Structure 1
Amino acid sequence: MCVYRDILRLSSCTGIGRSLAMAEMVGSAAAEEILKQAFAGLIGKQQHEEGRDEEEHHMERLEMAQIKLEAAVETSCRWQVMDASLLRWRKKLKCAARECDDTLRGFKQRAAEDEAREQEARGSSFPRRWARATKSIVTALLSHDNSYASSSSAAVRRFERLADSAGEFLRFAELGGTPRRYMFADPLIGHLLAGQELRYRLVRRGQYHLFCVRPIRLEEDRGREAALLFMYEDDEAPEKNLCLGSILRLSESTDIVGTIIKFLDLLVAPHFKSTAESVSKELAQLPTQDFWWVPYVDSSHRKLWNSIHSSMTQWFRPDPLCCKQHEPMPSYGGSSSSSTMKLSYVADLEPVIQLSLNRHIPLSEYNKHRSKAAEGDTSCHKNVPHLKIGLVFAPHGSSEGLLPSVESSAIEVIDGAEQSGAHTNISLEQLDEFMLPKAIDCLRQKAELTVYQMFWRSKHGAAFLLVRKTGLMKMPPRHVTGVGDRRFMIQRRRDPKLEKWVQLVKDFLDLWAAHAPRKLQSSIVEWIQKVDEKQN
């Protein structure tokens, strides 16, 4: 080294000396860099090993959390959990189990990629191994910093907390979600919760009764619901014909018939009071011993009904938890009427999602509601149009599109054309009072018109009212004498549960689909098309 320094001093003034000095500087820098990389390699290797151990520990903890979550969900699925809060809880646990599984897959994928890179590096040449090792060191230093370790640990702790809550969920579900050991107050509920469909049909002396209830299982937060249909027809007095439909939520304590009767008793629409009373009387007299049950899974229309039921229940009750906490339900009557207090909250009525009534307008009522301008008309009664009046009431309906300053609003639709100007701050009771006389005059004066509609919505609740022409009013023959007539009557009533129910729903949707939420309109239109294809 001494000789080397002497040579450098002797040559410092020459170009050779400057070149040698530069070489020394470069060599020292290279040596220093190699030394740094050596230390970094040792540190990086240690951190890499520690990071791998930590990831393996995280994977074990995540796997155990996932097992707990899935076990809780699968165990509860073997029970008949009906409470909406428990169903929401279970839905959260399902989502957590899927998310935990995705996170665990991510950990395993990174571990597999690291292992594959190491195996590939061991089989490569020295320069390539040196390059890969250097890249691995840098990656390890960047990927196993404190922020990464902190986020990974936080994710693992979160799933462990959710998994611990799964045990508490099972304890609640066991207390409130095992109907197999429940003594039902209503014998109908046990069958419906078991997935069976109720059917009842009676034909006697020209009078026809039909009562059907089918259970529907929807997404987790809505629980089990049912679609109900009751029809009464009298061949000799068609003005007495009526039809009731309803969608309601089921629970172990639901009294189906009792709930519907209570709701009908509180109905504030004046022109439907007599019909509601008749339906209540008929429902109360149904012979339960003559009911028969079939598995709903055997229904040929099951898939079709499930699809439209899902859309309609979201339409009629957008928030499945509204009124669940027993807050007062709003009044739908006029402010000056004694009936305004009738629809204060009654716990038994919260499950009602939708209720519809349809009836004929007899000649006496038709004449009563004609305007004074039409009183002098001496047209023969045979030309009087046969009218039907219908109401679809959704007590939990959405107020979407309603201005904050407006409590309620109603729009008029004539033959599908929406009329300008809306009635604001009007109750359902007030709307029903003036709608029928106006509808009768409108349909009578314009022969080409076939239907008059009103769409009403409030801060909490919606209703659809219509008056419709169905042909000329005429009395049917008192006795069926011909074989052809008798065969026609049998064919007409061959399968009314499927045919009439489908047609009633389709008629409603044809008239009101335009007022459905936009996100549901495509599924409703698709359902109508499927029905048309089946009927053709």
Structure 2
Amino acid sequence: MGEMVASTLAQEGVSRVFSSISTKLDDRASRAHNVRRLDIALSRMEYAFERTAKMPITCVSLLRRWKMLMSAYNEGVHLLNKHKLPAALEGHAETGQVVVRSSYYYLQRIATAAYFSLSSLASGLNKQQCLSSSVVQIFEGYADSADKFVADVESACPLRRDTFFPYPFVRQLLQGRSFIYPVRVEGSLLLFGMNPVVLEGRGVEACIWYKRFYSERLDGLLLVLRLSESTDIVGAAIDCVRSFASLLNLPAQEAIIGHLTQLPNLQEISDSYAPPRVRFEKNFASLSTGLRPDPLCCQRVGHGPSVNGTNSSELSHLFQEQIIYFSFSCYVSALEYNLPSTSDEALRLNVGFSPHAGHFSISFVAEAMRSKYEHFPFGSIEQTVDMTRSRSVEFLIGQPEVKDYTVFWKSRHGHAFFEVVKPRIDMAAVPKASGSRYNTRSAAAKRKRS
């Protein structure tokens, strides 16, 4: 009788051992299957990103969808690598090798997608000990959305359909063509330049610049904005100039506005193609990302985040939402600038606005003069302009040795700077056109004779 009991117990023990082994094998197979499914889903998303990377996306809704898909993709790669490591350890235990395939696309893109953070979905998934089929289904749904995203981008591509463009040169800009166009107007040499760049996740952005050489002086304008087939480039530039002049209580800059209004009439500008500058695209991408880390901020609500209940995004109300950066350089007389000067002395005014920049955890105003750098309590942009005007009077007029005065306005959402300079007359010159190059010999000789 005792022998029978012992035999029964032994059989039950063996059965439990085999059952446990079988369960572990099934669990391992199921986990490996789910890992493969997740890997395939992520590869489908990679294809969508690669397929659309250089396509001119001009619809903000598509850029917003790209952002959501990229966030989900980052979560999926994080989850995949977490569950691949144990599988690799088990699969290669005998040889001592560990193989974990990280996504090449993820490694390539993680720097440009750095502003995406893992959502609560990833936080919840990371706490799970196993990769369930239901979790994989979520990412397979994302992969389906990525397939639809590719189709929508292709159908919405402005270069593949009969689309109205406000100016003849907009189509060339969306094709990635750059322009440099010189023209002489009333004794002034004008240079217009346009440099577009297609940036993944940001759409098409363009750098528009203007320079005017006249009477041994130089005015300049630089505008960086997101571009679409309906963008009124000239209108946006004129709006920026007027906003700047109104903010600083300066004359309306009618001469420059008049030159900008002539730009749509320059029909032959489409033949003024210029090759892109060396490393321009890479440098532009770095600059644009720094000036507007989130390309879709303020797109819906028209302003950025608030700080302590106070709106800290004043610049996004002064400039159109698609404006990334605007700077302007011009000469103003001491009388125009309300300086107590006995002569109508010319001063150089340089200003710059980044409506969506935000690199600081606090808002502040800083003053730079010679080697001194001093902080002031944060105030509105109008208060900072008043401070710039009054203190530049104090230093530039009261202290002749001071040649420049700069104020930086840094909010948590939007930056600006204002610089007033006493120009060195011997450094100002009107360049003379000579093919594609300019020189100042004639201007220097003229000053020498006088």
TM-score, normalised to structure 2, is 0.71
Please report how far the alpha carbon of residue 285 of structure 1 lies from its aligned counterpart in structure 2 after TM superposition: 1.5
Deviations 1:354-383 (A, max 9, x none): 2111112346547x5226xxx5xxxxx7xx
Change over 3 Å in CA distance of 1:228–1:472 after alignment to 2? same
- Rounded to whole Å, the distance in 2 between the matches of 1:77 and 1:83 is 14
Identify the match of residue 234 of structure 2 among 247, 257, 267. 257
Tell me if structure 2 keeps the 8 A contact 1:271–1:433. Answer: no
- State whether residues 248 and 354 of structure 1, in contact with CA within 8 Å, keep that contact through their aligned partners in structure 2: yes
Aligned partner of 1:93 among 69, 80, 84: 69
- CA gap 1:98/1:441 in 2 versus in 1, 3 angstroms: closer
Deviation sequence 1:18-69 (CA, Å, 0-9, x none): xxxxxx9xx9999898656522332134324433543454355335534543
1:90 partner letter: W
Q: CA distance change for structure 1 residues 28 and 412 in 2, over 3 Å: closer, same or farther?
A: farther
Contact 1:410–1:424 under 8 Å retained in 2: yes
Could you tell me which of 348, 353, 359 is aligned with 2:324?
353
The whole-number CA distance in structure 2 between the counterparts of 1:423 and 1:326 is: 28
Correspondence for 1:54: 30
How far did residue 443 of structure 1 move?
2.2
Question: Does residue 435 in structure 1 map to residue 406 in structure 2?
Answer: no
Tell me, in whole angstroms, the C-alpha distance in 1 between the residues paired with 2:54 and 2:386. 51
Q: How far apart, CA to CA, are the structure 2 residues paired with 1:492 and 1:439?
A: 40
- Match runs of 1:97-496 below 5 Å: 100=76, 151-170=131-150, 172-174=152-154, 176-186=156-166, 187-203=168-184, 206-220=187-201, 222-234=202-214, 237-238=215-216, 241-267=218-244, 268-275=246-253, 277-286=254-263, 287-292=265-270, 298-301=275-278, 303=279, 305-327=280-302, 349-362=320-333, 365=336, 369-370=339-340, 387-398=347-358, 400-402=360-362, 410-419=365-374, 422=376, 424-428=378-382, 430-433=383-386, 435-436=388-389, 438-458=391-411, 460-472=413-425, 489=432, 494=437
Unaligned runs of 5+ in 2: 97-126, 306-313, 440-450
| TM-fit CA distance, 1:456 | 2.3
- One-letter identity of the residue aligned with 1:419: E
**Which residue of 2 is the match for residue 4 of structure 1?**
none
In our comparison, the structure showing a higher alpha carbon Rg is 1
TM-score (norm 1): 0.61
Give the stretch that moved more between structures: 259-268 or 174-183.
Answer: 174-183
Distance, in Å, in 2 between the alignment partners of 1:318 and 1:109 is 33
Q: How far apart, CA to CA, are the structure 2 residues paired with 1:76 and 1:253?
A: 21
| Aligned amino acid, residue 149 of structure 2 | F
Cα distance in 2 for residues equivalent to 1:118 and 1:475: 76
Q: Which protein has the bigger helix share?
A: 1
Cα–Cα, structure 1 residues 174 and 369, in superposed 2: closer, same or farther, change >3 Å? same
Identify if the C-alpha distance between structure 1 residues 246 and 161 changes in structure 2 by more than 3 Å, giving closer, same or farther: same
Q: Is the 8 A contact 2:325 2:352 kept in 1?
A: yes
In structure 2, what is the Cα distance between the partners aligned to 1:38 and 1:203? 97
Q: Secondary structure at the match of 1:253?
A: coil
- The Cα of 1:291 is off from its aligned counterpart by 1.2
Q: CA deviation at 1:230?
A: 0.5
**What does the per-residue CA deviation read over 1:438-497, in whole Å, with 9 as the maximum and x for residues that have no partner?**
4244224434322111122457533211111221489989xxxxxxxxxx845797169x
Q: Are the aligned partners of 1:410 and 1:426 in contact in 2 as well (CA < 8 Å)?
A: no
Write the distance in 1 (CA, Å) between the matches of 2:26 and 2:350: 73
Change (3 A) 1:45 1:325: same
Aligned residues: 398
Change in CA separation of 1:52 and 1:260 when aligned onto 2, cut-off 3 Å: same
Contact 1:68 1:163 in 2 (8 A): yes
Whether the 8 Å contact between 1:69 and 1:166 is mirrored in structure 2 is yes
Of the candidates 44, 57, 66, which is equivalent to residue 20 of structure 2? Answer: 44
Following the alignment from structure 1 to structure 2, what is the Cα–Cα distance between the partners of residues 254 and 98?
Answer: 32
Aligned residue for 2:324, secondary structure, equals: strand
> In 1, distance between residues paired with 2:227 and 2:57?
11
